[in-house]
Structures are given as C-alpha cells and as structure tokens.
Amino acid sequence: MRRLLTLIVLFLMIATASAQKGEMKLGPLVAYGSEIKNPGLGIKFHYGINDKIRVAPDFIYYLKKNDVTWWELNVNGHYIFSSTGDMAFYGLGGLNLLGYKVNLLGISTSDSEMGINLGAGFQKPLSSKILGVAEAKYTLSSSEQLVISVGLLFNLN
C-alpha cells in the first residue's frame, strides 16, 4: 500500500509541478492483460515535456474474475520516434505497480508488486481535440504480462 501511495504522490507532483509548461491530455482506455486474462477499464494522462518526450501515467482496473480483482498503476515515459502527417509512433518505458485482492469464502487477502514496463504505441488525431491511442507494453516482474490497450485522449489546454 505504501508503494501505491508513493506512486500516486509522484504522479501528482509531476502533473502539478509542470502543468503550465506543456500539452496535457486525459481520457479513458480499455485494456487486456495476458496473464490476468481479463479486460480492464482505465484512465490515461499525457503531459508533453517537449515535442518528443512526455510523461504518461495511467491506471487500469481489471474486471473481477474468479473472486480476484486486479489493478495496475503505471508511470511511463514516451519517446516519439516518428511522426508522419498526423500519425505518430512512440516507445515507452516506466514503472508498474500491480495489485490484486482475493475474496473467497469471506476471507480476503491482497498484495502488490513493482515491475518495469517496456513497449510501444501509436497515436492518431481523430479531431482537433481528440487523440486516439493504441499501446502494447510488456511488464517485467514476477507476474510478467503483455497489456494491450486502446483509448481516447481529450485536450485539456
């Protein structure tokens, strides 16, 4: 739990300390985890440091399956490799905090673990205010998994 609070505080410091310097986007996403084998719903935030680099935290809550609920908090950095026309391809790397809760026969237990994210994504503007994103990332931890996600991001500034 202490690790989750630390990551949340880190996210809030990044988002508020530099909120007036760059482009900000926020929006919903849907995801699928290969190890969890269940869909998830989440929220993603982008903050542009410059034209090539941005901070991109997100949170995903996976739907309950077999008395287990999973969630993950990611704090990633994106590097935009190529931008042709109105499409862009980027690489990502960052930290992952994966947690779960099991509630079986009235007994409940939970735990969390840290991991490292590596992956890539694709983005395409759908309008002047909406950006479509698709991402694939692999989390290196004791619960390694591939997470595929798609979402919409809305301009905040």
The CATH number that applies at residue 130 is 2.40.160.20
**Quick one: pLDDT at residue 51?**
85
**Quick one: pLDDT at residue 152?**
98
**Quick one: pLDDT at residue 20?**
38
Convert 49-80 to b/e letters by CB count within 10 Å (16 or more is b): eeeeebbbbbbbebeeeeeebbbbbbbbbbeb
Note every long-range contact of 83-90, with CB atoms under 8 Å and residues 24 or more positions apart, other chains counting.
86/124, 86/125, 87/122, 87/123, 87/124, 88/122, 88/123, 88/124, 89/120, 89/121, 89/122, 90/120, 90/121, 90/122, 90/123
Per-residue pLDDT of the chain (157 residues; tens, 9 = 90+): 556 556 555 555 554 444 336 889 999 999 999 998 999 999 999 999 998 999 999 999 999 888 899 999 999 999 999 877 789 999 999 999 999 999 888 889 999 999 999 999 999 999 989 999 999 999 999 889 999 999 999 999 8
**Quick one: pLDDT at residue 67?**
87
**Quick one: pLDDT at residue 66?**
86
Whether 68 contacts 49, CB under 8 Å = no
**Quick one: pLDDT at residue 11?**
56
**Quick one: pLDDT at residue 1?**
54
**Quick one: pLDDT at residue 3?**
61
**Tally of domains in the chain:** 1
Cα–Cα dist 100/64, whole Å? 10
**Quick one: pLDDT at residue 6?**
60
Domain extent for 18: 2-155
Q: How far is residue 5 CA from its own chain's centroid?
A: 16
pTM of the full predicted structure?
0.83
